Chains A and B, each alone.
Chain A
Amino acid sequence: MLELVVFSSLNGVLYGMLLFLLASGLTLIFSMMGVLNFAHASFYMLGAYFGFQISRYIGFWPGLVVAPLLVGVIGALVERYGLRTVHKHGHVAELLFTFGLAFIVEELVQMVWGKIPVDYRIPGALNFSAFTLFDTTFPAYRMFMLLMSIGIFLGLLVLLTRTRVGLIIQAALTHPNIVGTLGHNVPLVFMMVFGVGCGLAALAGVIAGPALVTQPAMAASLGPILFVVVVVGGLGSLSGAFVASLLIGLIQTFAVALNISLADVMAHLGVTLTRESFGGDLWMATVAQVAPIIPYLLLVLVLIFRPHGLMGNRDT
């Protein structure tokens, strides 16, 4: 049982940190520009595919740097020539634009790399087991993922709280108009933030790609979870996004480990429920089976009862 707890925690934190790499960019973009970027997970996917392509020619490590940069530039271009054009039609149009973009990216990826998963390998230097606990091994690559995402998290923290750029961004988060009147080039800041956000997502893609299967459906399966994280954490709140990322990561990992169903709980209370009793499937479903629902349930509940999210300070 202890090993289950240890390894589930490790994997949960790992998954949560990866989520945070995406959620941080998404929440920054939303708070500054008011755009919920539907295509954010698509940039994550692009990162994974670019990383794969680069790793085939010059290896994994250059890809770790080049792919996020490339995707960041693409993101900045999308903001400059796409979003800015749509901006005058309002937020709904912006949302729809990114929705369409996600659609196009998925199609392009399928066209270029095919519909089946690509063979994105873990770099040879990390293809060993980091440690063995209760004779279960923890792969070094997962350790690397964990350290990378924590490193980036700390880097972001320093950037945002200790540098001038960070100050401007923080100011633009809450009072974009005033930042503009202070003489900062707000459109440029927007473009940079959008580009950097997309780059971060791509970085998450490059490091997650080899471990979590690089395939055209990876964006569509991650996208909705990402929204859950951002909304539950509180739109515009980085610390909220961090807490929510870890929360969702841990929930999803631990839920798989639990085989308890409502029927089991009721059995302890002396009530016998079977599949044949009214609403049978509901009673018999184990926590593991219900796991995919939990984040969305959380989302709906938070939006109704706590519209600011866990740590946000503005209404959705």
Chain B
Amino acid sequence: MKQGTMQFLRAAALAAAASLASFGAGAQNIKIAYIDPLSGGGATIGEHGLKHLQFLVDTINAKGGVLGGQKLEAVAYDNKGSPQESLVQVQKAIDAGVRFITQGNGSGAAIAISEFISKYNERNPGKEVLYFNYAAVDPALTNEKCSYWHFRWDANSDIKMAALTNFMKDRKEIKKVYIIGQDYSFGHAVRGAAVAMLKQKRPDIQVVGDELHPLLKITDFTPYITKIKASGADSVITGNWGNDMSLLLKAAADAGLQVNWYTYYAGGAGGPTAIKQTGLDHRVFQISEWHTNVPSPSMEAFADSFLKKYGGDSGQGWWYLRMKNQMDMFAGALNQAKSADPKKVAVALSQMKFKNELGAETFMRASDHSLFQDMYISSFGSGTKHDEEKTGWGWKTMGVIKAQDTVIPTSCKMVTPS
């Protein structure tokens, strides 16, 4: 009994000490922290993204890991979608010995993290941290707010909007467009780009509505749908993601709104199910770097194995080719640098050329650390090989933009640390 008590006390003291003292620094695994919303309105996609990362880490480890046998390890932190909370979590991750951080959902959080890491690296030489951004597409991140420690694997929202409007400009049936978006930096960027580019490419198109709604707070989009309906729009442009996309589509289905949708993220959780409900066959378009029906045997097999493992009841499959690019390139950079030192990894990454799973060439631009890759415009509907969320409908390619055609200039003045 006495010994037991002593043991208990010692263990309790150890636990207390561990909470204050430093966390194990001698860990063998190379940790990558996933900082995204795992609760609240963004959690649906945050959780699914985490499964992506876990699957990629497992795949890389199963192939023997990196640097001749070292393993990668994914650690998840919930930022609740808030920029400030993200910084608390980044700090926690750094204290836990993490040197590589990935985040994607929410440009507000992304900008906060990028600025924090720049400051942190400047103040803590020798303890640098890298930030891999797989989805936050605010153009500012690779323009006026660019950072040497930030790398982005997704095309920024201007590139995507340029591709979307190029596609829209040839569709003569578009007369009236309604723009709806989330009220934050990314939503503003989408709206600004859409208005400017439409004006330039199709001055005859009338923008009949220009709406911003609170981010991830609306549970009933019916009033907004009523408004779109009343405006007489034939097309809607939206950058919405997460619940804001699926609930918007759901409300549209309930009200029987018959318009064409030009979206960034209609393929996110619940989106396909909601589109099927609206009955809009091949009238919802999405711009992305990949979709499940891009022909490529190896990528299709990869997506299938993910679906089998994590698809579950919802049937949500693989979304982010860009995260696969990211992790494959990260592993490649580690091996190329022959070190897990973030500074060396950053050098290797900053001008890497990479042939992705589709066999297509992609390249990281050194001047703003953003990856250029082929982009696909696809529409959602019947008659496809692979379907989404067990709806029987899937994405069909409507147009491809080659990587070199997506290159747009950057205002970034990259400061390379000595």
The segment out of A19-27, A129-137, A300-308 that lies at the interface is A129-137
Q: Which residue of the partner chain A has the closest CB to B225?
A: A136
Q: Interface digits, A106-140 against B, CB 8 Å rule (1 contact, 0 not)?
A: 00001000011101000000000100100111110
Q: Does A267 sit within 8 A of B, measured CB to CB?
A: no
Which residues of B come within 8 Å of A, CB atoms? Answer: 38-41, 43-44, 47, 183, 211-212, 214, 217, 219-220, 222-224, 226-227, 229-230, 243, 247, 254-257, 313-314
Asked if residues A256 and B223 are in contact (CB atoms below 8 Å), the reply is yes
- In the complex, residue of chain B having the shortest beta-carbon distance to the beta carbon of A142: B254
Q: Which of B183, B217, B256 contacts A136 (CB 8 A)?
A: B256
Is there contact, CB below 8 Å, between B230 and A1? yes
Expressed in whole angstroms, the minimum distance between the Cβ of B236 and any Cβ of chain A is: 15
A58 at the interface (CB under 8 A from B): no
Q: CA of A140 to CA of B256 in the docked complex: distance in angstroms?
A: 12
Q: Closest approach, in angstroms, between the C-beta of B210 and any C-beta of chain A?
A: 9
Q: Please state if B227 and A256 are interface contacts (CB–CB under 8 Å).
A: yes
Complex partner residue of A116 from B43, B224, B255, CB under 8 angstroms: B43
The answer to whether B44 touches A4 (Cβ under 8 A) is no
A217 near B256 with CB under 8 A, answer no
Contact A115 B214 (CB under 8 A): no
Would B219 and A7 count as touching, CB distance under 8 A?
no
Cβ of A4 and Cβ of B230 under 8 Å apart? yes
Question: Which chain B residues lie closer than 8 Å to A4 at the CB level?
Answer: 226-227, 230
Report A-chain residues with C-beta under 8 Å of the C-beta of B219.
212-213, 215, 218, 221
Would A212 and B38 count as touching, CB distance under 8 A? no
Residue from the list A137, A138, A211 in contact with B220, Cβ < 8 A: A211
Interface centre among B212, B224, B230, B256 (most CB of A within 10 A): B230
Rounded to whole angstroms, the CA-CA distance of A233 and B21 in the bound complex is 54
What residues of chain A lie closer than 8 Å to B230, measured between beta carbons? 1, 3-4
- Assess the A257–B227 pair: CB atoms within 8 A: yes
Within the assembled complex, what's the spacing in Å between the Cα atoms of A94 and B208? 52
A295 → B minimal CB distance (Å) = 14
Report the nearest A residue to B223, measured CB to CB: A256
Interface: A11 (CB within 8 A) = yes
Q: For A257, give its contact among B43, B223, B257, B314 (CB under 8 Å).
A: B223
A8 within 8 A of B: yes
Known A-B contacts A115-B43, A137-B254, A292-B214; A213 and B247 likewise in contact (beta carbons under 8 Å): yes
Q: Are A117 and B256 neighbours in the complex by a CB distance under 8 Å?
A: no
| Contact yes or no, B243 A213, CB < 8 A | yes
Q: Identify the 9 closest CB pairs spanning chains A and B, nearest first.
A: A137-B256, A256-B223, A115-B39, A213-B219, A4-B230, A139-B254, A7-B226, A116-B43, A116-B44
Q: Are A129 and B247 in contact (CB under 8 A)?
A: no
The listed residue (A117, A136, A139, A289) touching B229 by CB distance below 8 A is A136
With the chains together, A142 CA to B220 CA distance in Å? 12
Asked whether, in the complex, the Cβ of A11 is within 8 Å of the Cβ of B226, the reply is yes
Q: Indicate which residue in A8, A138, A217 contacts B40 across the interface (CB closer than 8 Å).
A: A217
Q: Name 14 extra pairs, CB < 8 A, besides A7-B222, A115-B40.
A: A7-B255, A110-B39, A116-B44, A119-B313, A136-B226, A136-B229, A136-B256, A212-B219, A221-B219, A253-B223, A256-B224, A256-B227, A257-B223, A257-B227
Distance between B334 CB and nearest chain A CB, rounded to angstroms: 32
23 contacting pairs across A/B (C-beta < 8 A)? A3-B226, A3-B230, A7-B222, A7-B226, A8-B226, A11-B220, A11-B222, A11-B223, A110-B39, A115-B47, A116-B44, A116-B47, A117-B44, A119-B313, A119-B314, A136-B229, A136-B257, A137-B255, A253-B223, A256-B223, A257-B223, A257-B227, A292-B214
Contact A8 to B38, CB < 8 A, known contacts A136-B256, A213-B247: no
* Chain A 129-164 interface 0/1 with B at a Cβ cutoff of 8 Å (1 = within): 100100111110010000000000000000000000
Compute how far the CA of A129 lies from the CA of B230 in the bound complex, rounded to whole angstroms: 18
* A149 → B minimal CB distance (Å): 15
**Nearest B residue to A216, CB-CB:** B39
Tell me if B223 and A132 are in contact (CB < 8 A): no
**Most interface-central of A116, A135, A136, A253 (chain B CB within 10 A):** A116
Question: Whose C-beta in chain A lies nearest to the C-beta of B257?
Answer: A136
**Alpha-carbon distance A288/B227, docked complex (angstroms):** 11
Question: Which A residues from 193 to 220 make CB contacts under 8 A with B?
Answer: 211-213, 215-218
Closest residue of chain B to A254, judged by CB?
B223
Partner of B255 from A136, A218, A221, A256 at Cβ < 8 Å: A136
B292 to chain A, nearest CB (A): 21
Q: Which residues of A contact B39 (CB under 8 A)?
A: 110, 115, 216
With a CB–CB cut-off of 8 A, which chain A residues contact B43?
115-116
- Expressed in whole angstroms, the minimum distance between the Cβ of B146 and any Cβ of chain A is 26
**B29 CB to nearest A CB, Å:** 26
A50 CB to closest chain B CB (Å) equals 19
Q: How many angstroms between the C-alpha atoms of A212 and B218 in the bound complex?
A: 9
Give the docked Cα–Cα distance between A132 and B254 (Å). Answer: 11
